[in-house]
Structure 1
Amino acid sequence: MVLADLGRKITSAIRSLNSATVINEEALDNMLKEISRALIEADVNVKLVKQLRDNVKAAIDFEDMASGLNKRKMIQSAVFKELVNLVDAGVKCYQPSKGKSNIIMFVGLQGSGKTTTCTKLAYYYQKRGWKTALVCADTYRAGAYDQLKQNATKARIPFYGSYTEIDPVIIAADGVEKFKAEKFEIIIVDTSGRHMQADSLFEEMLQVSNAVTPDNVIFVMDASIGQACEEQARAFKEKVDVGAVIITKLDSHAKGGCALSAIIEGLVEKVEQLKLENNEELISKKEGKFTLRDMYEQKTSKIKYNENWPN
């Protein structure tokens, strides 16, 4: 799988500092080249990769470093922070509230896997004790309602749709109203697949959104479209308030760079073992003073580092 492979390559690049005899500009460049190559192979935007490299190099000034500082740890900390910045939108993730109806609307391109993903998310919440329901507002694709009905029945999730009503706005509004009256906590609305060039479908999407006033809009994209997702996502965002992205079919395509956040959790766990957040005082020592306490902290942190960092 592309994300697992990307995670291994990034971890391997960070580990390469362990085998470096001297931690200098050359060692830093070699590590950044490996990370950049891994990101570009995973179809991460070249501009973002270059920005990451530049930011790390700007944060590491070998000439200005006081002697005795743990350069390996400082470099790894800088790389880790830039990887997080690469995927952190700076916005708190949507969290549904217990005891009220939370409406989640799905949008995306045709064939991206919205209907299947809707059922998966509904099942996810259902298994965690939420009262969950599905609404099929996709009247454009033949068999859309049958697919959602089959998936929902198998997962034992209540659903709403119509074989006779052709207006998705009416179906969405009626379905949401029905499940609200029945005190459902998670109401997921599936909509027709659409493309940014289909103006009429985009207008329809806006009408559905206005009718159900969703608490969260999820944009579903197929990993195979690669960097084209940026343009599509922007078009959807300009029409409705997209608050989250789900990327599908990552196991069948190498262009998963836009889902870099999926590997960050594992990387966070590895880097957190180094307790980098507790070394701000050490990292900020650039005035050239180095005490016995500093030396002690360096020795003990190095022992912990060697024990915790994966072989």
Structure 2
Amino acid sequence: MVLQDLGRRINSAVNDLTRSNNLDEKAFDDMLKEICAALLSADVNVRLVGTLRKSIKASVNFASVPAAVNKKRLIQKTVFDELVKLVDPRADSFRPKKGRSNVIMFVGLQGAGKTTTCTKLARHYQTRGFKTALVCADTFRAGAFDQLKQNATKAKIPYYGSLTQTDPAVVAAEGVAKFKKERFDIIIVDTSGRHRQEEELFTEMTQIQTAVTPDQTILVLDSTIGQAAEAQSSAFKATADFGAIIITKTDGHAAGGGAISAVAATNTPIIFLGTGEHMMDLERFEPRAFVQKLLGMGDVAGLVEHVQAMTKDSAGAKETYKHIAEGIYTLRDFRENITSIMKMGPLSKLSGMIPGLSNMTQGLDDEDGSLKLRRMVYIFDSMTVAELDGDGKVFVEQPSRMVRIAHGSGTTVREVEDVLSQHRMMAGMAKRVGGQKKQMQRAQDMMKGGNKNQQMAAMQKRMQSMGGAGGGGMPGMPDMAKMMQMMGGGGGGMPNLGGMDMQSLMSQMGGLMGGMGGGGGGRGKGR
């Protein structure tokens, strides 16, 4: 992702400070310099960087921080909170409603990816039960209608356009009227762009807006435009008064922080990030989750949504979940995890969602990651039914089995050993999860017989004493009261996230952490 290097540099600066034996004001200033340098090199606006630096300095005043407060935790939390403020305009975006026609108009410069993003957004809403349609009002660019037609046909989304009508406002009005008559929920209007801001472009945008009266206007910004983002977004805001931003091409390698400037310049929320060329490569933007992902803390909510979409009908996943709940984790469960991961898309897309994995997979491209996972499956496929359904101890008792499996899978004994080692680690985690479930169930039973508020308050107080920093704990994590509320709806005692509890999440994703953690296996020839 465009901002991956930025996240690593910020994370490294904070970690270097918190590991330092001499945590003084000079070390703190050095950390701030590195964070600011990282943001500037990513093309974040200079004024924004200066504001961020002042805010962090004001929040962590060494002279006034009480001795009892954990300074390291305070610094971590402050950096996290200020980065969230940087990308959060605290403004609500439009939410379409079913049962009525919601017209969404796209604006932006040519080459930003408007047409592709229109189709991605239409498909996003379509998969959520909305009846969606596309209108091509771009009569300026040759081939614009053909591109939208091709994308819409591939995504099975109705579309409207004209090869003869040259007035974009007329095409837009006709298309919107047609789909309103047919009772479509979402009607997305694609407009033309230019290579630069021109009077004709802005005049055309206002004419189309007058013709279709959109419920929402979205500005599409190319993430690689750098410092020009602020001026560009301000000019479009003054003319089109857009209510949301979608940033595209965040899967590139150029500096992409400049697009963040558009948030501050226009006080407008980013609603999606374009992360690739495929129709599914559109991620919902949420400030706290974005910063968590940026700093390698993962986006668990996004991960859960992704896992649910991929595994909701998997019989193997349900069986693995049942085992995890019982504290059991067989080699077959591990194989189910790996095959689930392979269906979920590129490793680079998943790694940012899983806490800590983005650092573990640094330097490992999608092709190498996929090859590693495939070779693990070859190893599982060379095992007997009894070996797959066992706990792996038979390989310790009879090492010759590993030689047989290496020969049968076209891998090395070292790779087989790595897989078995990773399985033991995951089996240990499963055992702990099973035990935690029982403990939490007992805790819930106890709370039923006493004063729940008092017990929550007592647990919260203990958490604050452990966390320092005013009870903030790790950034992005819920406090104990919220956590206990989550446990109450967790279907068995584990915290619930978006309809899937943590046991289920582990059962689906646990194998990936183990699968990538070995890294030391030899690379024999695959099949």
Using the size of structure 1 for normalisation, the TM-score is 0.84
For each residue in 1:146-188, what CA deviation from the matched residue of structure 2 results, as whole angstroms up to 9, or x when unmatched?
Answer: 1100110011000000111111111101111111111111110
Could you tell me which of 300, 304, 308 is aligned with 2:466? 300
Question: What corresponds to 2:145 in structure 1?
Answer: 145
For each residue in 1:89-110, what CA deviation from the matched residue of structure 2 results, as whole angstroms up to 9, or x when unmatched?
Answer: 1211221112111111001111
Deviates more, 1:24-33 or 1:201-210: 24-33
Residue 69 of structure 1 pairs with residue 69 of structure 2 = yes
Residue 3 of structure 1 deviates from its aligned partner by 1.6
Q: Flag the 1:183–1:228 CA change in 2: closer, same or farther, 3 A.
A: same
Matched residue SS, 2:106: strand
Aligned AA (1:267): V
How far apart, in 1, do the equivalents of 2:465 and 2:21 lie? 18
Question: What corresponds to 1:167 in structure 2?
Answer: 167
Residue 12 of structure 1 deviates from its aligned partner by 2.3
Contact 2:134 2:160 in 1 (8 A): yes
Aligned length, in residue pairs: 289
Question: What corresponds to 1:191 in structure 2?
Answer: 191
What pairs up with 1:155-234 in 2 under 5 angstroms? 155-194=155-194, 197-234=197-234
How far apart, in 1, do the equivalents of 2:240 and 2:87 lie? 22
For each residue in 1:105-162, what CA deviation from the matched residue of structure 2 results, as whole angstroms up to 9, or x when unmatched?
Answer: 0011112111111111111111111110000000011111111001100110000001
Greater relative contact order (CA < 8 Å, ≥ 6 in sequence): 1
Could you tell me which of 265, 272, 280 is aligned with 2:289? 265
Aligned AA (1:237): K
How far apart, in 2, do the equivalents of 1:65 and 1:234 lie? 40
Question: What corresponds to 1:4 in structure 2?
Answer: 4
Residue 6 of structure 1 deviates from its aligned partner by 1.9
Question: What corresponds to 1:280 in structure 2?
Answer: none
Q: Flag the 1:178–1:272 CA change in 2: closer, same or farther, 3 A.
A: closer
Deviates more, 1:171-180 or 1:11-20: 11-20
Q: Flag the 1:295–1:232 CA change in 2: closer, same or farther, 3 A.
A: closer
How far apart, in 1, do the equivalents of 2:174 and 2:461 lie? 69
Unaligned stretches of 5+ residues in structure 1: 274-292
How far apart, in 2, do the equivalents of 1:299 and 1:16 lie? 24
Question: What corresponds to 1:80 in structure 2?
Answer: 80
How far apart, in 1, do the equivalents of 2:226 and 2:191 lie? 22
Contact 1:135 1:189 in 2 (8 A): yes
Contact 1:206 1:240 in 2 (8 A): yes
Residue 305 of structure 1 deviates from its aligned partner by 6.1
Matched residue SS, 2:194: coil
Residue 82 of structure 1 deviates from its aligned partner by 1.3
Aligned AA (2:466): T
How far apart, in 2, do the equivalents of 1:252 and 1:105 lie? 26
How far apart, in 2, do the equivalents of 1:196 and 1:237 lie? 15
Contact 2:84 2:291 in 1 (8 A): no
Matched residue SS, 2:107: strand
Question: What corresponds to 1:113 in structure 2?
Answer: 113
Aligned AA (2:150): Q
Residue 244 of structure 1 deviates from its aligned partner by 1.3
For each residue in 1:186-240, what CA deviation from the matched residue of structure 2 results, as whole angstroms up to 9, or x when unmatched?
Answer: 1100001136642122111101011111111111122232111211111111111
How far apart, in 2, do the equivalents of 1:154 and 1:298 lie? 53
Question: What corresponds to 2:16 in structure 1?
Answer: 16
Aligned-residue Cα RMSD (Å) equals 2.9
Question: What corresponds to 1:37 in structure 2?
Answer: 37
Residue 264 of structure 1 deviates from its aligned partner by 4.7
Q: Flag the 1:224–1:297 CA change in 2: closer, same or farther, 3 A.
A: closer
Percentage of identical aligned residues: 55
Residue 297 of structure 1 deviates from its aligned partner by 5.5
Using the size of structure 2 for normalisation, the TM-score is 0.51
How far apart, in 2, do the equivalents of 1:41 and 1:184 lie? 45
Contact 2:225 2:256 in 1 (8 A): no
Q: Flag the 1:160–1:271 CA change in 2: closer, same or farther, 3 A.
A: closer
How far apart, in 2, do the equivalents of 1:23 and 1:271 lie? 27
Deviates more, 1:102-111 or 1:224-233: 224-233
Aligned AA (2:289): E
Aligned AA (2:467): S
Q: Flag the 1:62–1:173 CA change in 2: closer, same or farther, 3 A.
A: same
Residue 14 of structure 1 deviates from its aligned partner by 2.4
Aligned AA (1:265): A
How far apart, in 2, do the equivalents of 1:26 and 1:217 lie? 47
Residue 267 of structure 1 deviates from its aligned partner by 3.4
Contact 1:115 1:148 in 2 (8 A): yes
How far apart, in 2, do the equivalents of 1:226 and 1:199 lie? 23
Contact 1:133 1:187 in 2 (8 A): yes
Residue 298 of structure 1 deviates from its aligned partner by 5.8
Unaligned stretches of 5+ residues in structure 2: 261-269, 271-284, 301-458, 478-527
Residue 127 of structure 1 pairs with residue 293 of structure 2 = no
Contact 1:56 1:79 in 2 (8 A): yes
Aligned AA (2:139): T
Q: Flag the 1:250–1:294 CA change in 2: closer, same or farther, 3 A.
A: closer
How far apart, in 2, do the equivalents of 1:7 and 1:121 lie? 27
For each residue in 1:238-260, what CA deviation from the matched residue of structure 2 results, as whole angstroms up to 9, or x when unmatched?
Answer: 11121111222233342210345
Contact 1:222 1:247 in 2 (8 A): yes
Q: Flag the 1:175–1:69 CA change in 2: closer, same or farther, 3 A.
A: same
